[in-house]
Amino acid sequence: MKELYDTISLQFTLKDFHQQKPNLAFATAEKQQLIALLTYMRDVHRYTHLVFVTAVDWLEENRFQITYMLHNYDIKADFGIRVMLDRDKPVMESIHHLWEQGRVYQRELHEMFGIDFPGSPGVNEPMILEGWQGPPVMRRDFDTAKYSLETYDHRPRDTREPESHMKEKLYPED
Amino acid sequence: MSYMDKTTGIPEQGITPPIPDTGEMPDREWRKDDKTLTNAELTLEEQDWFCDARPTPAKPAWGPVEKFYNWARANSLWILAFGTGCGAIELRPLVTARYDISRLGMQPRPTPRQASVFMIGGYVSIKTLKRIVRSYEQMQGPKFVVAVCSCAINGGMYWDSYNTVKRIDQYIPVDVYVTGCMPRPEAVMAGFSKLKELILAGKAEGQNLYAEKFDWYKANQKQVIKDWNMPDYNW
Amino acid sequence: MSLVTKLIWTFISLGIVTIWGLTLTGIVAKIFARVQGRLGPPVWQPFIDIIKNNAKRTAVSHGIMFYLGPVFRIAGGIGTYMFIPAIYGSLYFSNFSVSGDVFLVMYFIFFGQLGMALGAGEGGHPYSAIGVARGLAQMTAFEVPFALSVISLAVQYHTLNITEIVAAQQGGILSWTLFTNPLAVIAAMIAMLGMNMYNPFSVVIAPQETPIGPPTEYSASFLGMLATNRGIFNAAKMVLFMNLYFGGATNLVEMIVKTFCIYFFSVFIGVAFPRFKTEDAIRFFLKVPTLVGILAIAVFLI
Ligand code: SF4
């Protein structure tokens, strides 16, 4: 897959090539070139299948990483293209015109990470969280345990240390 | 993380628990008077479609007759299984050859109208809670609720999830809980036997409880369901 | 016998046949369970279910037709039974068979379904509508071989009166329609499979795909009424088939044994076969059974 990387690199700015398996590789692309790169991959190199679109929250580097995973049915190989977004202004171009199913992933990313994809149909509709009013839930600075404790009531209960509890129960005289 | 006090389990400061159950009806803007509901969240057109009557507690029949009825109810439990979570998978072994609950007069029923036991199988997310409330209210009384799985009792392994309610009994009345993650079919059957005992003793009056404390239940439901777009009581 | 005594006896026989019909349902549920390797519900489970359904404290109604649906259904069941002589030659169990003939009974079989369709339609549940559409389509299909078979009987016996048809079959097992007109019996028995709605023709009530078919919205005592009707209607149909094709019955025990055997035919097929889709069921009824029915008429016309 290194040859493929080198071929693409002639036209696009790529970096961080990483070959994970013989038929699986990743590379990081420029945000501005992404649509052109995906179109090129799809139409020239026959990576015709969009496997998934997902995001990673790099909180410490203040970045979002979006991964587009493409699959080539002819040689049975996967190529993952990453782009980095600014975490303070997470806006990305939509790819729903290249792959129709892309809009579902984008809707999900919008709901879970708060990444906006202007122009993607129905991107603002709730996907699985109906009526959610808090922050996007998969961002790492969202503290789900704290939110849960503040929002939902707990059933009070006795929590016991098993060792000492059983000791007390079985051998009370000790 | 120490959100919970280790020994008492009481949440620490800065936490707003739901409205305490004081027995009196909270004064809410969505309550027109004691008889009708406003359905304020619906559009005017939709308000015409739905009934605005409040549920009323039903009186049990005369002593021995009610006993006889209770016997029939206990021996003909029709289950509406709501597979909210992974625990729902336990219903399949229950109805098939190995554990076969039909010999106890139970059978799964696909519509809430005809069922008498509401079986909640697992964790309850907010989205599901909406459907649970709707299905529960559509069941015809007397109706009983069996909540299967630890998640339904106290959140289980989803205790810190942002979208899962713990304690379903704050949203609908629950008769029997079955613990376990996930409970074995035997445990679920033990739960049903317990429910039978309760019914025979005339103690499974969840429907009346719901009608009496309707405002408290509704307030709790509306507190967590942020996009309430259904009638206040859909029988 | 005065009309009043006759009425009283008819209702007594109706009570007996209801109990028998419900027990039959229980027995069949048990048989199904044993075939599937389960223990199955007790035989008296249908009675408990009916008591429980009637003991519900609330019931939801969607309007007048919704109320009338189960009423029509049970009227269809009772009407079917009222005009069939349950026991041939008995003064007490011949019901009102002198006043109606087999066409009236066929009309009553259809009538209940139609009433149910109206009622379930007002419930407004889409699954009810699906169930009704399937039920009516399937019924229209199985009515064809059944009607042909009845016409064949009319040609054979030159009468439509059920009592006379039974009378013509008296005198030994060989004078039953089963042996004098086997083609008509074949057509009618296949039609009965559709009527009883066990597999392979169970897509109407399809408890898994469309919840429970037409009665999706029916609850509480409505459902109790429908369940009672299921008992009456099943037994009435079996009594009708016994009278038309299997020589009728001259005492209660004979009736019970014969109806059970006839019903068992449909159960036997039911446990052994998978399910037809609606369109396949219709296609099936309109092919072989219809042809057999036409043949049965043709044989007697020639
Ligand atoms: S208790 Fe366990 S099995 Fe049950 S819903 Fe929760 S996680 Fe799933």
CATH code: domain of residue A9: 3.30.460.80
Residue C286 reports pLDDT greater than 50: yes
- Report, as an integer, the average pLDDT of B33-50: 72
- Report, as an integer, the average pLDDT of C196-212: 72
Which of the pair, B32 or B156, is modelled with greater confidence? Answer: B156
What are the structure tokens assigned to C127, written together? Answer: 């699954």
- Report, as an integer, the average pLDDT of A149-168: 82
Tell me what the pLDDT averaged over chain A comes to.
88
Contacts of B159 in chain A (CB under 8 A): 148, 154
pLDDT band at B59 (very low <50, low <70, confident <90, very high): confident
Q: What is the pLDDT of residue A73?
A: 92
Alpha-helical (H) ranges within C43-125 are 45-54, 64-82, 102-123
Q: What is the pLDDT of residue B20?
A: 53
Count of structural domains, chain A: 1
The beta-strand segments (E) located in chain B are 78-82, 107-108, 117-121, 124-125, 144-148, 164-165, 176-178
- For the four alpha carbons of A165, A167, A171 and A173, in that order, the dihedral sign comes to negative
Q: Does some domain include residue A172?
A: no
C-beta of B156 in contact with ligand 1 (< 6 A)? yes
Q: Which domain holds residue A144?
A: 2-154
Cα C104 to chain centroid distance, Å, stands at 14
Which of the pair, B231 or B21, is modelled with greater confidence? Answer: B231
Residue B29 reports pLDDT greater than 80: no
Residue B2 reports pLDDT greater than 50: no
- Report, as an integer, the average pLDDT of B7-30: 47
What is the C-alpha to C-alpha distance for residues A87 and A58, in angstroms, rounded to an integer? 8
B126 contacts B163 by C-beta, under 8 angstroms: yes
CA-to-CA dists, residue C295 to B181, C112, C143, C176, C185, angstroms: 64, 30, 16, 19, 12
Q: What percent of chain C has pLDDT over 90?
A: 3
Task: Assess if CATH 3.40.50.12280 describes domain B64-224.
Answer: yes
What is the C-alpha to C-alpha distance for residues B202 and C133, in angstroms, rounded to an integer? 42
Q: What is the pLDDT of residue A24?
A: 92
Contact partners for chain B, using 3 or more CB pairs closer than 8 A, are A, C
What is the C-alpha to C-alpha distance for residues A1 and B137, in angstroms, rounded to an integer? 59
The domain ranges of chain B are: 64-224
Least CB-CB distance to B166: which of A130, A131, A154? Answer: A154
pLDDT band at B117 (very low <50, low <70, confident <90, very high): very high
Report pLDDT digits (tens) over A50-79: 999 999 999 899 999 999 999 999 999 999
Contacts of A111 in chain B (CB under 8 A): none
Question: Which residue, C269, C267, C260, is CA-closest to C23?
Answer: C260
The alpha carbon of residue C70 is apart from the nearest alpha carbon of chain B, in Å, by: 15
pLDDT band at C223 (very low <50, low <70, confident <90, very high): confident
Least CB-CB distance to B161: which of A133, A144, A153? Answer: A144
Q: What is the pLDDT of residue A144?
A: 86
From B182, B184, B188, mutation site for ligand 1 pocket: most ligand atoms within 8 A of C-beta: B182
pLDDT band at B14 (very low <50, low <70, confident <90, very high): very low
Contacts of A142 in chain B (CB under 8 A): 162
Q: What percent of chain B has pLDDT over 90?
A: 10
Q: What is the pLDDT of residue B10?
A: 44
The least confident of A46-55, A138-147, C97-106, C230-239 is: C97-106
Report pLDDT digits (tens) over C67-98: 888 888 888 888 888 888 888 777 777 777 77
C-beta of B208 in contact with ligand 1 (< 6 A)? no
Cα C16 to chain centroid distance, Å, stands at 16
Neighbour tally for A20: CB within 10 Å: 11
Residue B216 reports pLDDT greater than 80: yes
**Per-position DSSP letters for A77-91, written without gaps between them:** EEEEEEEEEETTS-B
Tell me what the pLDDT averaged over chain B comes to.
80
Q: What is the pLDDT of residue B90?
A: 84
Omega prior to A118 cis, within 30 of 0? no
Q: What is the pLDDT of residue B24?
A: 52
Which of the pair, C115 or B6, is modelled with greater confidence? Answer: C115
- Report, as an integer, the average pLDDT of B163-171: 86
**Helices B214-224 and B126-138, axial angle in degrees (round to 10):** 150
Q: What is the pLDDT of residue B4?
A: 40
What is the C-alpha to C-alpha distance for residues A102 and A95, in angstroms, rounded to an integer? 6
pLDDT band at B161 (very low <50, low <70, confident <90, very high): confident
CB proximity C25 to B under 8 Å: no
From B150, B159, B166, mutation site for ligand 1 pocket: most ligand atoms within 8 A of C-beta: B150
Which residue's CA is the nearest one to ligand 1's atom 3? Answer: B182
C-beta of B187 in contact with ligand 1 (< 6 A)? no
- The span from the first CA to the last CA of chain B, in angstroms, equals 43
Ligand 1 atom nearest the C-alpha of B84 is 5
What is the C-alpha to C-alpha distance for residues C165 and B64, in angstroms, rounded to an integer? 50
What is the C-alpha to C-alpha distance for residues B175 and B194, in angstroms, rounded to an integer? 9
What is the C-alpha to C-alpha distance for residues C222 and C54, in angstroms, rounded to an integer? 8
Report pLDDT digits (tens) over C156-194: 888 888 888 888 888 778 888 888 888 888 888 888 888
Q: What is the pLDDT of residue B3?
A: 38
ipTM of the modeled complex = 0.84
Least CB-CB distance to B1: which of A145, A156, A157? Answer: A145
- Report, as an integer, the average pLDDT of B25-38: 55
Q: Does some domain include residue A72?
A: yes
Residues 6+ apart with CB under 8 A from A146: B3
Report pTM.
0.84
